[in-house]
Structure 1
Amino acid sequence: MLPGTPRRQADGMTIMNRRTVAATALAALLTVAVPGAVTAAPRATTPLGPAPAPLAAAVDNDRSGVDCRPGTLDPAPIRAAIAGLPDADATSAQVRITIPDGCWTGTSGVRDLRTGAPVPPHARFRVGSVTKVFTAALVLQLAAEGRVDLDGSVQGYLPGLLPADYPIVTVRQLLHHTSGIPSPTPPGDIEWQLAHRYDRWTPEQIVRAGLENPRAFDPGEKQDYTNMGYIVAGLLVEKVTGHTYEQELARRIARPLGLRDTYGPGDDPRIRGPHAHGYQAVTRDGVTELVDATVWSQTYTPASGDVISSLADLDTFMTALFAGRVVPEPQLTEMFTLPPVDDVEGGPARYSAGLSAMPLDDGETLWVKTGSRYGYLAAVASTRDGRFRVEYSITATDAKGEELSATAQAVIAAALGMA
C-alpha cells in the first residue's frame, strides 16, 4: 500500500468577459481527483508559529537576464488575485503571465511562517504532475531518435515488469493515460502520510503495488488519468538510455535550455536553493494547525510528480517545447493530439501526451498541465502558438484537497480575463 476559506475576491473587482465560462470550466478541470490523493483537514485556522500579517500587495519581480516587462499588460487583476497572503488558503503565490506585447511576474506572501520573510523572487517549488510534461518530452525525444517505438510494447522494453499474461501495453498508451495499469491503493490517512513522508520507494515497488489491484479496462479502451503510466515511462527512459531519469532530464532538457532551477530530486526530500515553504492543514483534537510539508520524499511519484523548477524555467521550457525546439515534428504532434477514446467516466478524452486540452469559449484551446504535492500547487498553460502563457506556484494549505485553492481560482479567473 502506498501512498474552508471562501473565494477571495480581487479587491471587489469583477472579471466578466468572453472567457468567464472558460475560467469556470478550467477550475473544474484542475480539481479532477488525482489517484493517490487523500482527504486532509479543513482549512487552517491556527497557523504554525506566529502568523505574519498579510502583505498588502503583490510584489513585482524581474529576474536578471529574463525579459519580462509589462508592456501593454495591466497586471492589476493578477496582483489583486494574489494580494493579502498569507491567509487560511495559502501562505504564498508566484505568478507569471505573458501576452503578445507584455509579461509580468510577481509574488505574494511569505517564504516561511516562522520568519515572515518574503518569497524569494525566483523561488523554486515542487511542480507536481507538471513533471509529466518533461517525461513525455523525454520519451518523444527518444522516439524521434528511433530509440523508442511509440507503438512498441512495454513488455518488450521492460521485460518482467508486467505479469507474463498481461495484455500488451504500448508506449503511446503510457503517455495517453490509456494503459489501464492500475494504481496502488492510497492509505487515505494524512497522519499516515506524514509519518511516512521520508520513506523511499522504487518505481518497481509502486508498479507491483498497483498490480495487486484489478484492471479496470484493457489497454487502449479508455482514458484514466493516473501517475502509473508515467512512472513506467520513467523506467523506460532509464532502460533505453542507461542513465537515471534525473541525468536524462538534466542532459536533454535542463542544460540545453539553460534551466538553472529545474532538476529531478531523486531520493533527496529537500528542495535545493531558494524556495518557499509549503504547509498542510491538519486537524488534531479539534484544532487545525499547519504542518511544514517542505521536506518530503517524492520517490512515490517518480517521473510523474517529483520535478522541482521555477516560474522562469517553466516559461522557458514551455516556450521552447511549443516552438518545436525540445521535441521535433512529427513527435511533437503527440502532445497536442487526444486519443480517440472516452475517459472512464464516459466523457471524451482530455489528456494528450503530457498535457490536457481546455477548449475556450471563443474556439481557441488552452493546453494545460497542473500539479499538486502536499504544500504546493503548480500549473502551466499556453495557447498552441505560445502567444498567451501562464505559470503559477501556490503554497496552498490543502493542495491535495477536493476543492481547488481559492487563490488558484482567483489567479485563473484573472489570467483568463487578460487573454
Structure 2
Amino acid sequence: MTPALLTLATSLPTVAGVAAQSGREIIANNADPDRPFAVYSISKTILAILTLQLNEAGRLVIDNAARRYLSASQARYLSPEITIRQLMGHTSGLPDYGPLPEYHTAVRQGQRAWSFDEYMERTQATTLLFPPGDGWSYSNIGYMILKHIVETTADQPLAELSAERLFVPLEFSGSLVVKERADWRRVSIGRSDSLEGEVREIYDPGWVAHGLFAMTASDLLALFQALFSGRLLKSESLQQMCMLHRLPFIEGRPFQQPAYGLGLMADAQRQIFGHTGGGPGSTAAAYHKDGKTAVILTNDEDSLKAEKLGIALFDSTNSDHEV
C-alpha cells in the first residue's frame, strides 16, 4: 500500500509528522517526536469518543437532555431542549468565549482560568444564539459542559477516564491531560506572541475549558487509526460520529465542502475526517481518509498552516511527494 507521506518540507519552525501506512516519522528542524505537543481542540475528538463509549455502555443517552447529567448548580444554565448530541455537534445554540475581549485580556496577562459558573455567566450562556438544533455555531462552552457530563457519568476525572479507556489499551507512551502549569514541563511548547511571558509560566491550562490533551505524534496517529478501524467504537457509533452538518465555504481553509460531525471536522466532498487545534505555543492537525492518517504537530501558532499541510497530504498521488 502507498505510504501517506515519505518526505516533508515545510517552513514551520518545529514539526513532528507521521505517515500512517509507512509507520515512518518525519521530523523537521530538530523536533522531538517522543515529546507530547498540546493538541488543543483535538481534545474535542477525544471527548466525543469517550461520550460515545459511555453511550454504548448505557451510562448515558446522547439524545437525552444534557442537563439531566449535570449537578443542579450546573444544570440551571441549560435549556432542557439541549441534548448531548447537540453539544457534540455544535448545534446547541450555546455561545463561545472566544469573542470576549475580557477573555483574551485575562489569558494574555496570565490570570487564572474562570470557573464553570464564570464561563457560563460571562458568555451569557442562557441566551442562546438560535433554538437548539436549528443552526450551527462552534462552541467551546458546549464541550466544557460535555467534559463535566462525561466526568459525572463515569465518576472519574478526565485524566483517569482517558487513561483507562484510551491510553492504556492503545499503549500510548507519552500522552497526558495538562491540568496545571506544572504539567507544561512534560510538553513540547513554543513561545507565544499573544502572552505577556513564557507559555509554561503564564498560561493556565484551564483556559481550555473542555480539557487539554498533550499527545505525541505516534500516539495521535494510533488514536485515529484505532478510531477508524473500529477498535474504539462500534460501527453504529462511528457512523453517528461521521454524520455531517454541512457548513458554508470557508475562505482560506483547505476544505472543499466544510462540515462537522460529532467531535470531527470534515471535508464532506473528499470524505476527510479529523480535527485541527491551536493555542499558545502549539498547533495540531490530525486527519484521516481511506485508511491513512496524517498528523502534524508544531510549535508554531499558525493552525491554518498546519491544517493545510495535513489536508494536502491526501492530495498527493505520488509515493515520494514533497509538500
Q: Same fold (TM over 0.5)?
A: yes
Q: Which residue of 1 aligns with 2:198?
A: 292
Indicate conservation of the 8 Å contact 1:167/1:218, yes or no: no
One-letter amino acid of the counterpart of residue 64, structure 2: G
Q: Among 4, 10, 19, which residue is 1:97 paired with?
A: 19
One-letter amino acid of the counterpart of residue 196, structure 1: G
Please give the alpha-carbon distance, in whole angstroms, between the structure 2 residues aligned to 1:209 and 1:177: 19
Query: How much does 1:160 deviate?
Result: 3.8
Aligned ranges 1:363-374 → 2 under 5 Å: 364-374=270-280
TM-score by length of 2: 0.84
Query: How much does 1:321 deviate?
Result: 0.9
- Cα distance change on mapping 1:408 and 1:291 into 2, 3 Å: farther
Q: What are the Cα deviations for residues 232-269 of structure 1, in whole angstroms up to 9, with x where unaligned? A: 11100111111111211111111111112222122345
RMSD value over aligned CA atoms?
3.1
SS of the residue 1:334 aligns to: helix
Q: What are the Cα deviations for residues 74-102 of structure 1, in whole angstroms up to 9, with x where unaligned? A: 623x1x235xxxxxxx4311111224xx3
Aligned ranges 1:393-412 → 2 under 5 Å: 393-396=297-300, 398-399=301-302, 404-405=304-305, 409-410=308-309, 412=311
Q: How many residues align?
A: 310
The structure where helix makes up a greater share of residues is 2
One-letter amino acid of the counterpart of residue 175, structure 1: M
Q: Among 108, 111, 119, which residue is 2:31 paired with?
A: 119
Please give the alpha-carbon distance, in whole angstroms, between the structure 1 residues aligned to 2:310 and 2:164: 33
Matched, 1:247 2:146: no
Matched, 1:390 2:294: yes
Q: Which residue of 2 aligns with 1:194?
A: 108
Please give the alpha-carbon distance, in whole angstroms, between the structure 1 residues aligned to 2:262 and 2:78: 26
Query: How much does 1:373 deviate?
Result: 1.1
One-letter amino acid of the counterpart of residue 45, structure 2: V
One-letter amino acid of the counterpart of residue 237, structure 1: V
Indicate conservation of the 8 Å contact 1:394/1:408, yes or no: no
Please give the alpha-carbon distance, in whole angstroms, between the structure 2 residues aligned to 1:328 and 1:260: 25
Q: Which residue of 2 aligns with 1:20?
A: none
Bigger Rg, which one: 1
Aligned ranges 1:14-33 → 2 under 5 Å: none
TM-score by length of 1: 0.66
Q: What are the Cα deviations for residues 126-165 of structure 1, in whole angstroms up to 9, with x where unaligned? A: 0010001110011000000011111111121113424378
Q: Which residue of 1 aligns with 2:321?
A: none
Q: Which residue of 2 aligns with 1:75?
A: 6
Matched, 1:146 2:58: yes
Indicate conservation of the 8 Å contact 2:294/2:313, yes or no: no
Identity between Structure 1 and Structure 2 (%): 22
Indicate conservation of the 8 Å contact 2:19/2:26, yes or no: no
Indicate conservation of the 8 Å contact 2:16/2:32, yes or no: no
- Cα distance change on mapping 1:162 and 1:190 into 2, 3 Å: closer
Aligned ranges 1:205-244 → 2 under 5 Å: 205-211=118-124, 214-244=127-157
Matched, 1:417 2:316: yes
Aligned ranges 1:35-54 → 2 under 5 Å: none
- Cα distance change on mapping 1:411 and 1:357 into 2, 3 Å: closer
Unaligned runs of 5+ in 1: 1-69, 83-89, 110-117, 284-289
Q: Among 160, 176, 182, which residue is 1:263 paired with?
A: 176
Indicate conservation of the 8 Å contact 1:358/1:368, yes or no: no
Q: What are the Cα deviations for residues 197-222 of structure 1, in whole angstroms up to 9, with x where unaligned? A: 5x143334323332357321011111
Unaligned runs of 5+ in 2: 251-256, 319-323
- Cα distance change on mapping 1:130 and 1:330 into 2, 3 Å: same
- Cα distance change on mapping 1:121 and 1:265 into 2, 3 Å: closer
- Cα distance change on mapping 1:282 and 1:166 into 2, 3 Å: closer
Indicate conservation of the 8 Å contact 1:71/1:103, yes or no: no
